[in-house]
Amino acid sequence: MSSTKQVKFVNNDSRIILNVGGTRFETQRTTLKKLPATRLSKLSPRLSYYNPVLNEYFFDRHPGVFSQILNYYRTGQLHYPTNVCGPLFEDELSYWGIQREEVEPCCW
C-alpha cells in the first residue's frame, strides 16, 4: 500500500513585489485590488515601472510613508505616520490615488 501526498502549489502570480525607494514590500494582488481606482490596484507588467528581471515594480517614493499606504490596503484603516510632516504624507496619498479624507479621525 502506498500513500500519495498531494502538494498544493501557490500561484506565484498572486504575490507581488513592490520596491519603494529601495525598500521591498511583498503582498498579494488581491490585497491591492481592495481599493479600486488607485495606482496599485491597476498594476500590470506592461507598465514602465515593472522590472521583469527582478519581477518587481519600482517606485521612487518615500518607503516610510508607503508602509502606511500598504497597511491601509491590508486593514482598511489609514493613519498619519508620526515621523513625517502632513504635507509630505498628503503628497504621497495623492501620488498613490488615495483621498486624504480616508485618514482615520484619530489622526486629525
Question: What does DSSP say about strands 15-20 and 56-59: parallel, antiparallel, or unpaired?
Answer: parallel
Is position 5 within any domain?
no
Neighbouring-strand partners of residue 28: 15
Is position 38 within any domain?
yes
Q: What are the b/e assignments for 60-72, b being 16+ CB within 10 Å?
A: ebbebbbebbbeb
- CA 76/CA 23 separation, integer angstroms: 22
Is position 32 within any domain?
yes
pLDDT tens-place string over residues 21-55: 999 999 999 999 999 999 999 998 888 899 999 99
What does residue 97 show for φ and ψ, rounded to 5 degrees?
Answer: 85, 30
Query: Could you give the percent of the chain with pLDDT greater than 90?
Result: 77
Instruction: Determine the length of the chain.
Output: 108
Which domain CATH number covers 29? 3.30.710.10
Q: How many domains does the chain divide into?
A: 1
pLDDT tens-place string over residues 50-103: 999 999 999 999 999 999 999 999 999 999 988 899 999 999 999 999 999 999
> Which range marks the domain in which residue 20 is found?
14-107
- DSSP three-state, residue 57: strand
C-alpha radius of gyration, the chain, whole number: 17
Structure pTM?
0.83
